[in-house]
Chain A
Amino acid sequence: MHRYVLRRLLATIPTLWLMLTFVFFLVRIVPGDPAMAILGDSASAEALERFRQQMGLNDPLPVQYFRFLADIARGNLGTSMVTGLPVKDQLMRALPYTLELTGAGVLIGVVLGVPLGLLSGLKQNSWLDYLIRAVSLAGLSVPAFVLAVVLMMVFSVQLGWFPVISSGSGANLVEHLRQLFLPALTLGLIMTAYVARVTRSSFLNVFHHDYIRTARAKGVAEPRVVVKHALKNALIPVITMVGLYAGVLLGSSVMTEIVFNRPGLSGLIVGAMSRRDYTALQSLLVVFALLVVVINLITDLMYGLVDPRIRYD
């Protein structure tokens, strides 16, 4: 197990290098001039040129590339071209918000989704099953930004329970949670829909397996069959899904962050993209990628916990 983790981490080094290279060239083939994005449309040619010079944008690409690699290797994320602030500072400020939002979203998704999915599967083809499935599909149909706006209209403007500006700058824990609630609910509801569906389908899948039949034939009571055998096996695809979705959620939190004015990582990335802030963008994407790799690793390890048949050696 430890060796496996170590090997996986070592294996991420080539992955990371691939990412770095990919990111570096990707951000540079996108049209747009960072100098103008930052200095504005009436900036003089001299001012633009000086900016490019200063930011090293006029250096040959290989020079920029190796400088970037060397910086990253030393853990230096560079300085944002737009704000002149260290990317690391911005990142450190944004990261907790994104992690807490994603974490809360996944939590809501699992807490609501797994029981709903199981219930739906157990009562297959009952009205409850149909209801749960229809509601979860509705959850899948609504884009996050629509859900966010509707939640705001109801809970912030009509009822006044939660703030619209959920920037997480609350002075205390209660205020902090109050601000987290609506954005987390937005992501969580979408996640719930996915989790419920996958839980149901994989539960049904496992339920038809022969060993469950055998267990049932042996006269083991129904609830115990469900818990002991079916649940364990049914959880593998659910974990894959949750793992996969934690990553996707991390990325799709953009909408939620923008609408709720939250200072998270994905908003930072989209902002750097729209300003063509190369230095910030490439570093942020690398960090983001690293996060997803870690989530994937955790997902893979979770299989082993749930299903002892899978070994890491």
Chain B
Amino acid sequence: MNLRNLLTVALVVVLVAFGSVAAFAQTKVLRYGMAQADIGGMDPHNAPGTNDKTVIDPMFNGLVRFRPGSANPEYIEPDLAERWEVSNDGLVWTFYLRQGVQFHKGYGELTAEDVVYSLERAKDPQRSAFSSDYVLFSKIEAVDRYTVRITLARPVPAVQVLGVLTDYQGGMIISKKAAEEFGDNFRMNPIGTGPFQFAEYVPRQYVRLVRNEQYFRGTPEIEEIVYRFMPELRSRELAFRAGELDIMEGQREEWWVEDISKVPGTIVDVVGPGEMRTLHFNMSRPPFDDLRVRQAVSYLINRDEIVEIIGPSVTVPAYSPVPPGYMAHTDDVERYDYNPQKAKQLLAEAGYPNGLHIGPVIITEVESLLVPMQIIQEQLAREGVTMDLQVVDHQTFHDRIRQNMSNMVLYGAARFPTPDQYLTQFYHSASTVGKPTAVTNFSHYGSVIPGVDHLIDMARIELNQQRQIEMWQLAQRLITRDAPALPVYVLKLVFVRKDYVDLGYEFESTISLTPQFNERTRLLK
């Protein structure tokens, strides 16, 4: 082939290639930039990572749901169940299902069988990460094709039953047929009833969902959602600015929010519930086995300064071990406000008149925890309280803090917005790290000193809502008195979208920590 022929061929190739670019049809695709490198799976009962929930959310429904754009348990409304009844003794709950709801990809109509299967699965510790939420469900049965009856071991307040039946975690209803067909591979073949269905997963790249044409609330306006995994803030932001993303998870710091707001055509959503950052003191050994040291360190941390540095618009100062906005939250607790004099005095009394060395403190490289930890480190250092801060990768962090290797643990978490999960996981003796039932009680509260186990246990089954709230509030007061941990602030969620993305609802807060996309979400362009 001579040079001229070669050039001709090259030209043709280029022309054809450009031609096909032009021919590429415009579909209504929503492009979402996720702050994670990958997902673990899409099984709602077994994929509790925050990032996984983002992708799972539009694929499934619960019997009931939070109102879109809200995470307030007071606004729980019907979803797959049209209505429900409760027996007089509060033990038997009967749910009447919507008829004609179809599962994705031809897996048939949703029936009571699927609901029973899903809830049994969510309750089974072998197959679900949320089994503890369903321990009181003694019997789950299908009365007929469209009726499900749940019998409780003990009557509990309504919110505790409905809460675990929402379109969140274990409450998500999956197709029995698909789950049995795929077994463990269900997490890569999720089949639900939601507005969008699974289409494609490319590890470390993206998950693509396409709309469920038969969605029972109507065919969604958007045809496709592409969740792109982009852990680097900078590349996510540049892709958004260059118009390659329509919506993205933002940096949860005020300077960043200010900057991105200046980009024309941008809407910033700063929403709840947010994750509360709590500094847990490891009481299993010195120096934090001494109440005075815990109090002193608490008095040395200047919340206002932390809030100022990270930004008042994305943070809310916190004092109670139950995050603000949760049911029964109270700020009527002992407040540890910045007070270096008092701290010095307490340290001197505890035998540290010339400063204190805390010892090893392990922290993750993840910025939303590393940044506040650096501020705390400096605030303590100013008053002569030092530590060996070790920055490790996120998995090593999770591993080491559970092996009791860190003398202080800064941890961020959002849970179901009633105090039960929060108090149980962080302050119940059973949740103490190192125990077989360990969750995230890093302070050993209740194990090395008496705690509030009885209040947590009693409140969980208290039917009288007033008394239940009182118990939870008492627990909050007792915990702050003993100071096993210092609640510091709540970090809100930041999402950024182009102004042509209409979510279809007022976006205030989100239980799944992600904007919800449903049949009403539109692209106005």
Chain A contact residues, CB within 8 Å of chain B: 30-33, 36-47, 50, 54, 80, 82-85, 90, 93, 149, 152-153, 156-157, 160, 163-165, 167, 169, 171-175, 258-261, 263, 267-268, 271, 274-276
Bound CA span A259–B233, Å: 9
Within 8 A of A (CB), among B416-442: 425, 436-440
CB distance from A86 to the nearest CB of B (A): 11
- CB-based contact B399/A260 at 8 Å: no
Contacts of B241 in A (CB 8 A): 157
Contacts of A84 in B (CB 8 A): 41, 184-185, 187-188
**Nearest 6 CB-CB pairings of A with B:** A40-B48, A46-B125, A32-B395, A174-B17, A164-B239, A43-B129
Bound CA span A165–B206, Å: 11
Contacts of A167 in B (CB 8 A): 205-206
Known: A50-B126, A83-B203, A157-B238. A40 touches B21 (CB 8 A): no
**Cβ-based interface call for B524 (8 A):** no
Known: A36-B399, A54-B184. A156 touches B238 (CB 8 A): yes
Within 8 A of A (CB), among B39-54: 40-41, 46-49, 52
**Can you list, as one digit per residue, whether each of B179-206 has a CB less than 8 Å from chain A (1) or not (0)?**
0000011011000000000000111111
Contacts of A37 in B (CB 8 A): 395, 398
Contacts of B20 in A (CB 8 A): 171-172
CB distance from A132 to the nearest CB of B (A): 30
**Cβ-based interface call for B234 (8 A):** yes
| Of the residues A40, A44, A160, A165, contact of B47 by C-beta under 8 Å | A40
Contacts of B245 in A (CB 8 A): 165
| Of the residues B49, B131, B201, contact of A44 by C-beta under 8 Å | B131
| Of the residues A156, A173, A271, contact of B17 by C-beta under 8 Å | A173
CB distance from A82 to the nearest CB of B (A): 6
Bound CA span A149–B131, Å: 44
Smallest CB-CB separation from B435: which chain A residue?
A45
| Of the residues B184, B188, B395, contact of A274 by C-beta under 8 Å | B395
Bound CA span A244–B82, Å: 67
- CB-based contact A33/B40 at 8 Å: no
- CB-based contact B440/A44 at 8 Å: no
Bound CA span A172–B187, Å: 32
Known: A263-B202, A271-B204. A175 touches B235 (CB 8 A): no
Known: A42-B129, A42-B425, A47-B46. A261 touches B235 (CB 8 A): yes
- CB-based contact B129/A44 at 8 Å: yes
| Of the residues B13, B230, B398, contact of A261 by C-beta under 8 Å | B230
| Of the residues A32, A85, A171, contact of B399 by C-beta under 8 Å | A32
**Can you list, as one digit per residue, whether each of B1-33 has a CB less than 8 Å from chain A (1) or not (0)?**
000000000000110111011001000000000
Bound CA span A32–B403, Å: 10
Bound CA span A263–B204, Å: 7
Known: A40-B49, A83-B203, A175-B17. A165 touches B395 (CB 8 A): no
Contacts of B309 in A (CB 8 A): none
Contacts of B201 in A (CB 8 A): 83
- CB-based contact A165/B244 at 8 Å: yes
Bound CA span A84–B184, Å: 8
| Of the residues B21, B52, B125, B425, contact of A171 by C-beta under 8 Å | B21
Bound CA span A175–B440, Å: 48
Bound CA span A164–B242, Å: 7
Chain B contact residues, CB within 8 Å of chain A: 13-14, 16-18, 20-21, 24, 37-38, 40-41, 46-49, 52, 125-132, 184-185, 187-188, 201-206, 228-232, 234-235, 238-239, 241-242, 244-245, 393-396, 398-400, 402, 425, 436-440
Interface centre among B127, B234, B436 (most CB of A within 10 A): B234
Please list 16 pairs of residues, one from A and one from B, whose beta carbons are closer than 8 Å in the complex, sorted by A's number.
A32-B393, A32-B399, A39-B47, A42-B129, A44-B132, A82-B40, A83-B41, A83-B201, A84-B187, A149-B234, A149-B238, A152-B238, A165-B235, A172-B20, A175-B17, A275-B38
Known: A39-B48, A46-B125. A271 touches B37 (CB 8 A): yes
Smallest CB-CB separation from B405: which chain A residue?
A31
- CB-based contact A164/B394 at 8 Å: no
Bound CA span A294–B168, Å: 50
Known: A45-B436, A267-B204. A39 touches B228 (CB 8 A): no
Bound CA span A258–B202, Å: 15
- CB-based contact A93/B202 at 8 Å: yes
Contacts of B185 in A (CB 8 A): 84
Contacts of A46 in B (CB 8 A): 125-126, 131
> Given contacts A40-B40, A261-B228, could you give 12 more A-B pairs where the C-beta distance is less than 8 Å?
A31-B395, A31-B399, A38-B41, A46-B126, A47-B127, A54-B184, A83-B41, A84-B184, A152-B235, A165-B228, A274-B37, A274-B395
Contacts of A42 in B (CB 8 A): 48, 129-130, 425, 439-440
Contacts of B228 in A (CB 8 A): 165, 261
Contacts of A261 in B (CB 8 A): 205, 228-230, 235, 239
CB distance from A174 to the nearest CB of B (A): 4
| Of the residues A38, A44, A156, A172, contact of B125 by C-beta under 8 Å | A44
Interface centre among B14, B202, B242 (most CB of A within 10 A): B242
- CB-based contact B399/A33 at 8 Å: yes
Contacts of A173 in B (CB 8 A): 13, 17
Interface centre among A41, A169, A259 (most CB of B within 10 A): A41
Contacts of A274 in B (CB 8 A): 37, 393-395
- CB-based contact B242/A160 at 8 Å: yes
Contacts of A174 in B (CB 8 A): 14, 17-18, 21
Contacts of A267 in B (CB 8 A): 204
- CB-based contact B126/A47 at 8 Å: yes
CB distance from B426 to the nearest CB of A (A): 11
- CB-based contact B21/A31 at 8 Å: no
- CB-based contact A39/B203 at 8 Å: no
Contacts of A258 in B (CB 8 A): 37, 231-232, 235
Contacts of A50 in B (CB 8 A): 125-126
- CB-based contact B188/A47 at 8 Å: no
Smallest CB-CB separation from B45: which chain A residue?
A47
Bound CA span A47–B131, Å: 9
CB distance from B69 to the nearest CB of A (A): 25
- CB-based contact B398/A41 at 8 Å: yes
Bound CA span A163–B244, Å: 8
Contacts of A171 in B (CB 8 A): 20-21, 24
Smallest CB-CB separation from B38: which chain A residue?
A271
- CB-based contact A260/B235 at 8 Å: yes
Known: A157-B238, A259-B234. A268 touches B47 (CB 8 A): no
Contacts of B239 in A (CB 8 A): 164-165, 261
Contacts of A90 in B (CB 8 A): 203
- CB-based contact A45/B126 at 8 Å: no
Known: A54-B184, A260-B235. A40 touches B129 (CB 8 A): yes
Contacts of B40 in A (CB 8 A): 38-40, 82, 275
Contacts of B235 in A (CB 8 A): 149, 152, 164-165, 258-261
Smallest CB-CB separation from B47: which chain A residue?
A40
Interface centre among A83, A85, A260 (most CB of B within 10 A): A83
- CB-based contact A268/B238 at 8 Å: no
Contacts of A93 in B (CB 8 A): 202
Bound CA span A40–B232, Å: 21
Known: A156-B238, A174-B14. A47 touches B128 (CB 8 A): yes
Known: A32-B395, A157-B242, A174-B14. A41 touches B440 (CB 8 A): yes
Contacts of A153 in B (CB 8 A): 238
- CB-based contact A268/B204 at 8 Å: yes
Interface centre among B41, B394, B398 (most CB of A within 10 A): B398
CB distance from B160 to the nearest CB of A (A): 17
